[in-house]
Amino acid sequence: MYYYINSTLTETNELDLKKKRPYVAVLTCAEWEECREIFEMGIEMDIPSAINSTKAEVNYDSLTGTFLIPDRKNISGSKTAFSFALDEKGIVFIDDSGYVQNVIENIMRTKKWTKPGLERFIYDFLEQIVIKDQQLLEDFDKQLDTIESGILEGSEESPYKQLSAIRSDLRDMRVHYEQLLDLGQEFEENENNFFRKENLRYFHLFTQRIERLHDITNSLRDYTMQIREMFQSQLAEKQNRIMTLLTVITSIFMPLSLIAGWYGMNFRYMPELESRIGYPAVWGVSIAIVIVSLIFFKKKKWL
């Protein structure tokens, strides 16, 4: 598919590069191999199967690069990969997934430019990649708030599995933003002077937005660690309370066990055994020990 960049993207069946009108081309890998010479870029391109990052590389007479886009509905799953090449005349996307075509259709449906240009199209294309990310990060924030509220309410269900999944997704998004940031800065550098200087502000705006998303992502990852530490503290506090209770019980019954063991000895002469008040006396002493122990532990705030 070929498009000229006018006030909107205008589809055309054939490109005429001699007209010097900025264009967008969307080709499959097979189509690129067949017609790459007409674009006069003289380059070798990574095919999607060999792509492992989002990046841009400056060549003598072109700027090439790749995109690796996480699926926002399944961030840890498979990613969409495609390549691109551009010069001062236009940009070519090499994509077998259909992702680029969907983005371009969204741009055609929603964008109309008063000052059309290659830079403005690239800016809108990049914006489409992250257009829903603010809401995505807000959803992560709400999930973390829910987990934190459950911990504060005394929920004993371990949040480790959910926190680990969120943290993994945030890590992948952080890496994605770092790569997009490098890409935007490479465009803004404009080493080959493909872009008009007055339009470099578009790339600056994009890098600023990515920096904000990157900062939010880092904050959310720190938040996951805080929640994890909070749960560990709650768990340790519960264990301490249990240990304190067991210590109190042991301390109360230790003297009672001593009394039981003492009078359980089979000595022949134990005058208390023949006394009428011997049994009630042992009961009284035992009860007194329990009461004194409870009062003592209460004052020490162990109970």
Three-state SS at 20: coil
Per DSSP, the residues of 215-279 read HHHHHHHHHHHHHHHHHHHHHHHHHHHHHHHHHHHHHHHHHHHHHHHHTTS--S--HHHH-TTHH
Predicted local distance difference test score (pLDDT) of residue 157: 78
The structure tokens listed for 271 are 């005058």
User: 121 near 93, Cβ under 8 Å?
Assistant: no
Summarize pLDDT for 108-167 with one digit per residue, the tens. 998 888 888 999 999 999 999 999 999 999 999 999 999 888 888 877 678 888 899 999
pTM equals 0.78
Strand partners, 80: 69
Q: How far is CA 256 from CA 109, 159, 251, 261, in A?
A: 85, 43, 9, 8
- Per-residue model confidence (pLDDT) at position 45: 58
Q: Are 84 and 39 in contact (CB under 8 A)?
A: no
CATH code of 1-116, in short, is 3.30.460.20
Output the pLDDT for position 203. Answer: 93
Q: What is the pLDDT of residue 165?
A: 92
The per-residue pLDDT for 288 is 85
- Per-residue pLDDT, 32: 84
The label of the residue with tokens 């240009």 reads 117
pLDDT of residue 123: 94
Q: What is the pLDDT of residues 156-167, one digit of tens each?
A: 678 888 899 999
Mention every residue, 6+ apart, whose C-beta is less than 8 A from residue 57: 63, 64, 65
Instruction: Report pLDDT for 47.
Output: 58
The residue ranges of every structural domain in the chain are 1-116
pLDDT of residue 122: 94
Residues 6+ apart with CB under 8 A from 282: 259, 263, 272
| Torsion on CA atoms 31, 37, 43, 49, rounded to nearest 10 | 10
pLDDT under 50 in the chain at which residues? none
pLDDT at site 48: 58
